[in-house]
Amino acid sequence: MFKLFVIGVADPVLSARQESLLATCTLIVGTRRFELLTDRFSATFQYITPLAEALAAIALYLPQGNVAVLASGDPLFYGIGRRLLAEFPAEAIEIHPALSSVQRACALFRLPWDDAVVVSLHGRPCSHLPGLLLGHGKHLVLTDADHSPARIAGKLLKYLQSIGETDLVQTIRMLVAENIGLPNERVFRGTLREAAIRQFAELNILCLLVPESPGLPNFTFGLGEDDLFHSRGLITKNEVRATTLHALRLPPAGIFWDIGAGSGSLSIEAARANPRLTVYAVEQKDEELQNIKKNIVKFRSFNIVPVAGTAPEALDRLPSPDRIFVGGSGGSLPAIVELAADRLAEGGILVVNGVIDRTVREAPPLMKKFGFTVSSSVISVTRTEPDGEERRFNPITIMTGRR
């Protein structure tokens, strides 16, 4: 059986071992940069892009002789190795890795990376960068032209300034290793503001260092009303918040709309329990929006996006959701439910909480009209104080619609 050699290249010259493998091949696949390294070999050279054409060429040549695919660094680290293992028999493949770009960057940074979260933005969309990159102390980021270090810094700056987080604007550090292994290799170290106005080489690895916050709770779910900024007691009670989140069955990642978010208590609980979930907290009252922002800063729940406006109009510019919660509709419940039916992902869940009789009467038939399977629960909360005094709260009806 002939072999498919998947060879990681980290240096501008090939090693003796790499040259000996390439000398046995009838086809070499790689980028234009690698073509210059292999022009002395008799093998046919095939560009790696378009990928479909490269895979077809490998399938054509492999039954007749050895084939090599050249890749930067470690082919199994966000590389072509995964796709090749999916397309061709594993027993035909030999992986010859080099040091990954992340390893080499951290060596230049003089930075341990066993505690880092590695993220690839190379050719990958991201709806909310702050939620992806600010939730951990150390991120290593594979960038591309659309997500250059300068653009990333600019987006993080804009978000942090929008929520009033001034400390992190000053204290976050960005490290960027450019043109690793080449004569013009260099390392940048600076603040978000400094990075946002700098021109970086296209080949780079970014490290984002976010200082820890010692005051954060040591649990992910169960915040009390007194833990959160809110106005005049206008906050979803703990027991109702917990039951509502249970009804929502939030996914670990995706998009969640919190409509009529108020102080943002439910958004904060959802974001803390599901850090890869992007939460859009929609609220029309400025006082409550300020509470949402203060709570985001307090709990570092940077996967929340505050949205000023009234539903359904404010929802048009948001990405389509996997879950929707309606805590307040401002009299627009029919339009919100109709929009939810149109935008909600297949298998998604819509939850409407009702305090007033009108909402409790209108919501279930509306949800059924637009194709939801509806169930309801009534939550009555009675709290007993240490002195034995009881406090009773108005019952809340939680109406759940499933697609």
Residue 40 resides in a domain: yes
Domain final residue, candidates 176, 209, 242: 209
**CATH number for the domain harbouring residue 31:** 3.40.1010.10
Per the CB < 8 A criterion, the answer to whether 9 and 50 are in contact is no
pLDDT at 338: 97
pLDDT score recorded for residue 21 = 97
CATH code of the domain covering residue 334: 3.40.50.150
Residues 90 and 127 in one domain: no
Residue 200 counted as domain residue: yes
CA distance 295 to 298: 5
In a domain? residue 392: yes
Angstrom CA distances, 307 to 29, 65, 161, 248, stand at: 48, 59, 15, 20
Within this chain, do residues 330 and 229 fall inside the same structural domain, yes or no? yes
* Strands of 284-354, DSSP E: 304-308, 323-326, 349-354
Say whether both 342 and 264 belong to one domain: yes
Give me the domain span that covers residue 92.
4-99
Q: Domain for residue 216, yes or no?
A: no
Same domain, 304 and 196: no
Q: Is the pTM of this model over 0.85?
A: yes
| Residue 219 counted as domain residue | no
Q: Are residues 186 and 244 in the same domain?
A: no
CA–CA distance, 293 with 229 (Å, rounded to integer): 9
Token pair of 350 as six digits:
């819509």
What distance in Å separates the CA atoms of residue 311 and residue 318, rounded to the nearest whole number? 11
Residues 253 and 188 in one domain: no
75/167 same-domain check:
no
Any domain includes 218: no
The secondary structure of residue 350, as a DSSP letter, is E
Is residue 220 included in any domain, yes or no? Answer: no
| CATH number of residue 166's parent domain | 3.30.950.10
Domain boundary among 209, 238, 262: 209
Q: Are residues 396 and 248 in the same domain?
A: yes
Domain boundary among 209, 242, 270: 209
Residue 205 placed within a domain = yes
Is residue 131 a contact partner of residue 303, using CB atoms and an 8 Å limit? Answer: yes
pLDDT in tens, the chain (403 residues): 899 999 999 887 899 999 999 999 999 999 998 998 888 999 999 999 999 999 999 999 999 999 999 999 999 999 999 999 999 999 999 999 999 999 999 999 999 999 999 999 988 888 899 999 999 999 999 999 999 999 999 999 999 999 999 999 999 999 999 999 889 999 999 999 999 999 999 999 999 999 998 889 989 999 999 999 998 877 899 999 999 999 999 999 999 999 999 999 999 999 999 999 999 999 999 999 999 999 999 999 999 999 999 999 999 999 999 999 999 888 899 999 999 999 999 999 999 999 888 899 999 999 999 999 999 999 999 999 888 889 898 999 999 999 8
Q: pLDDT at position 45, please? A: 97
- Do 107 and 233 lie in a common domain? no
Number of H helices, E strands in the chain: 14, 19
Sign of torsion over alpha carbons 48, 50, 51, 55: negative
Task: Please tell me the total count of domains within the chain.
Answer: 3
What the block records as the tokens of 118 is 């590695």
**Is 77 in the same domain as 132?**
no
User: Are residues 283 and 308 located together in one domain of the fold?
Assistant: yes
Same domain, 197 and 132: yes
